[in-house]
């Protein structure tokens, strides 16, 4: 198993058809009106499995950490197990995942969403949280 991709989005979903649907994908900045504040976003990960991964349980942990590596919220645990063998001629199976997060940010700064498996960092996505005051009602931003 390895990571095919990882990114942040305003919203994403993987319905039963297995396709990945994304709105506002590829964000790396959250502008919030004040601190502390709760922000809502999705962490999207694509995991690639080969025939060697058949009949194996894979556990992946998604951590949201600050610049010092301190957890912001409890980690999310993702578990993968193939229901059947992956045929060698197929070469790989790609599974997309969406983890919905709504952390409370107490400080502006740099954060990371990190995917870990068996003590190894698989991938990470950076996020900058900045205070961006909202313009008064009826005014247009410059």
Domains of the chain, first to last: 2-131 (2.60.40.2550)
> SS3 breakdown of the chain: % helix, strand, coil, rounded to 5?
5, 60, 35
Tokens of 82: 């193939």
Beta partners for residue 37, in sequence order? 105
pLDDT at residue 81, rounded to an integer = 80
Instruction: Confirm whether pTM is higher than 0.85.
Output: yes
Tokens of 27: 């964000």
How does DSSP classify residue 92? -
pLDDT at residue 141, rounded to an integer = 60
Instruction: Give, for all 142 residues of the chain, the pLDDT tens digit.
Output: 999 999 999 999 999 998 999 999 999 999 999 999 999 999 999 999 888 887 888 999 999 999 999 999 999 999 988 667 777 788 888 899 999 999 999 999 999 999 999 999 999 999 999 998 777 777 766 5
């Amino acid at each position: 198993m390895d990571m095919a991709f990882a990114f942040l989005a305003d919203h994403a979903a993987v319905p039963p058809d297995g396709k990945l649907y994304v709105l506002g994908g590829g964000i790396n900045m959250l502008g919030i009106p004040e601190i502390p504040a709760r922000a809502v976003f999705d962490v999207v990960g694509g995991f690639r499995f080969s025939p060697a991964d058949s009949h194996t349980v894979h556990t992946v942990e998604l951590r949201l950490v600050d610049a010092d590596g301190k957890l912001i919220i409890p980690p999310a645990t993702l578990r993968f197990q193939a229901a059947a063998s992956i045929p060698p001629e197929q070469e790989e199976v790609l599974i997309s995942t969406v983890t919905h997060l709504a952390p409370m940010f107490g400080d502006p700064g740099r954060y990371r969403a990190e995917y870990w498996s068996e003590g190894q960092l698989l991938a990470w996505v950076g996020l900058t949280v900045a205070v961006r005051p909202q313009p008064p009602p009826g005014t247009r931003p410059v």
